[in-house]
């Protein structure tokens, strides 16, 4: 059974979420504070499959909880609940390591669809990367990894290796990277990435994408200010190049 951790201090909201998520067949645990949520996720990560994290909490707020969770090496898919009319909260949430967000008040079917989406993308990441590896000229290593130069991404472990260094990736970082790798050599627009990686159709601030690119460049580029793998295509978006030495 899929286990959802709901982090929400307002009891009527937490109760409503519990009732409706249980009706969908999920097992639900509620944490009323960020501290309690961190305790649970860090000490018992195997008990949580997906987190719904409210921003407004007593004590540690949702952003702090999010970044502490990621710093502790816990990369469970997490959806943040932010206040409507605060687009900067969305960007802060993504920067802290959130995988998705929803603004309050939200429609329940949308929340459930987003949770399903997070779980589905996790599976999708795990199972279909072998198609990419099979069509790429680099000899495929284990089927859930993609290698370029001395770097390799393990989409199962959500881990990027550069030489001897390992960088944990959030689910969204891995999704963004995987999307770019699938379109290797071709420019991809921010709009398409938002639609296909996040499932966002509405007018969303595309700068959220840029934050991901900045973080990914820090991991994979020798000099992030002069990227060779993750190129900016002015007026369009980005292009991933696996072997820059071949095209230069
Ligand atoms: Ca709250």
Q: What is the CATH number of the domain that holds 101?
A: 3.40.50.2300
Residues 151 and 191 occupy one common structural domain: yes
Query: Is position 135 within any domain?
Result: no
pLDDT value, residue 141: 43
CB distance 79 to 114 below 8 Å = yes
Instruction: Output the domain CATH number for residue 154.
Output: 1.10.10.10
Rg of the chain over all Cα atoms, to the nearest angstrom? 18
Residue 127's pLDDT is: 67
How many whole angstroms from 66 Cα to the centroid of ligand 1? 15
Q: Are residues 167 and 56 in the same domain?
A: no
Ligand 1 midpoint to CA 109 (Å): 20
Q: Is residue 134 part of a domain?
A: no
> Domain check: are 106 and 154 in the same one?
no
Name which of 105-114, 201-210, 239-248 the model is least confident about: 201-210
Distance CA 57, CA 9 (A): 6
With H, G, I as helix, E, B as strand and everything else as coil, classify residue 29: strand
Same domain, 54 and 105: yes
Task: Give distance in angstroms: CA of 83 to centre of ligand 1.
Answer: 10
Using the mean position of ligand 1's atoms as its centre, give its distance from the Cα of residue 11 in Å: 9
Of the candidates 125, 155, 179, which is a domain's last residue?
125
Domain boundary among 97, 125, 153: 125
- Give 69-108 pLDDT, tens digit per residue: 998 888 899 999 988 777 778 888 888 899 999 998 888 8
Q: Do 150 and 225 belong to one domain?
A: yes
In a shared domain, residues 188 and 113: no
Residue 234 lies in a domain: yes
Which domain covers residue 164, as residue numbers?
A: 145-246
Query: If you average pLDDT over residues 131-137, what whole number do you get?
Result: 54
DSSP tag of 99: S
Q: Measured between alpha carbons, how far is 75 from 49 in angstroms, rounded to an integer? A: 10
Question: Is residue 223 situated within a structural domain?
Answer: yes
Q: Is residue 139 part of a domain?
A: no
Does 172 map to a domain?
Answer: yes
Q: Are the C-beta atoms of residues 180 and 155 closer than 8 Å to each other? A: no
- Ligand 1 centre to CA of 107 (Å) is 17
In whole numbers, what is the pLDDT of the chain averaged over residues?
Answer: 86
| Tens digit of each residue's pLDDT (9 = 90 or more) over 193-216 | 877 777 666 566 677 788 889 889
pLDDT band for position 114 (cuts 50, 70, 90):
very high
* CA 54 to centroid of ligand 1, rounded, Å: 6
Measure 32 CA to ligand 1 centroid, in angstroms. Answer: 8
Q: Is the pTM of this model over 0.75?
A: no
Q: Which residue has the tokens 């018992």?
A: 44
- Does 63 map to a domain? yes
Assess whether 110 and 198 both reside in one domain. Answer: no
d(CA 208, CA 210): 5
Distance (Å, whole) CA 66 – CA 27: 21
Read off the pLDDT band of 191 (50, 70, 90): confident
pLDDT at 142 (0 to 100) = 47
Closest CA to 110 of 24, 205, 15, 196: 24
Rounded average pLDDT over 27-32: 96
CA 10 – ligand 1 centroid, Å: 5
78 close to 97: Cβ distance less than 8 angstroms: yes
112 and 181 share a domain? no
Closest by Cα among 120, 98, 102, 123 to 111: 102
Measure the N-to-C terminal CA separation of the chain; round to a whole number of Å. Answer: 50
Distance 190 CA to ligand 1 centre (A): 31
In this structure, the answer to whether residues 106 and 151 fall within a common structural domain is no
The alpha carbon of 226 and the centre of ligand 1 are apart by a number of angstroms equal to 42
pLDDT tier for residue 53 given thresholds of 50, 70 and 90 = very high
- Asked if residue 191 and residue 78 are part of one domain, the reply reads no
User: From ligand 1's centre to the CA of 57, what distance in Å?
Assistant: 5
| 187 or 122: which leads in pLDDT | 187
Are the C-beta atoms of residues 45 and 69 closer than 8 Å to each other?
Answer: no
Q: What is the CA(61)–ligand 1 centre distance, in A?
A: 9
**Within this chain, do residues 116 and 157 fall inside the same structural domain, yes or no?**
no
- Taking the centre of ligand 1 as the mean of its atom positions, its distance from the CA of residue 53, in whole angstroms, is 9
Tell which of 73, 90, 125 closes a domain.
Answer: 125
Select the highest-mean-pLDDT range: 29-38, 86-95, 144-153.
29-38
Q: How many other C-beta atoms are found inside a 10 Å radius of the C-beta of residue 89?
A: 20
Please indicate, yes or no, if residue 58 is contained in any of the structural domains.
yes
Distance 13 CA to ligand 1 centre (A): 8
Whole-number Å distance, alpha carbon 212 to ligand 1 midpoint, is 27
pLDDT for the residue numbered 131: 57
Q: What tokens were used for 22?
A: 């249980």
Do 238 and 153 lie in one domain? The reply is: yes
What is the 56 CA–ligand 1 centroid distance (Å)?
Answer: 4
Residue 19 has pLDDT above 90, yes or no: yes
Q: What domain count does the chain have?
A: 2
Ligand 1 centroid, distance to 104 Cα (angstroms): 10
Q: Is the peptide bond before 116 cis (omega within 30 degrees of 0)?
A: no
For residue 55, report the distance from its CA to the centre of ligand 1, in Å.
7
Q: Look at residue 135 and tell me whether its pLDDT is greater than 70.
A: no
């Amino acid at each position: 059974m899929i286990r959802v951790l709901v982090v929400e201090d307002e009891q009527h909201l937490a109760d409503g979420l519990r009732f409706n998520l249980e009706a969908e067949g999920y097992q639900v645990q509620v944490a009323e504070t960020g501290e309690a949520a961190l305790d649970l996720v860090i000490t018992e990560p195997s008990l949580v499959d997906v987190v719904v994290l409210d921003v407004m909490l007593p004590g540690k707020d949702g952003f702090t909880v999010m970044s502490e969770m990621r710093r502790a090496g816990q990369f469970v898919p997490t959806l943040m609940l932010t206040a409507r009319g605060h687009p900067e909260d969305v960007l802060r949430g993504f920067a802290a390591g959130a995988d998705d967000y929803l603004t309050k008040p939200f429609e329940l079917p949308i929340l459930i669809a987003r949770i399903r989406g997070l779980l589905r993308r996790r599976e999708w990441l795990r199972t279909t990367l072998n198609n990419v590896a099979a069509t790429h000229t680099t000899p495929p290593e284990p089927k859930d990894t993609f290698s370029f130069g001395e770097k390799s991404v393990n989409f199962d472990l959500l881990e990027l290796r550069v030489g001897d260094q390992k960088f944990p990736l959030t689910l969204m970082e891995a999704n963004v990277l995987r999307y770019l790798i699938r379109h290797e050599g071709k420019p991809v627009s921010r709009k398409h990435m938002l639609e296909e990686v996040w499932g966002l159709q509405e007018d969303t601030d595309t700068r959220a994408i840029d934050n991901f690119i900045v973080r990914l460049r820090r991991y994979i580029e020798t000099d992030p200010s002069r990227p060779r793998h993750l190129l900016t295509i002015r007026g369009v978006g980005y292009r991933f190049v696996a072997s820059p030495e071949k095209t230069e």
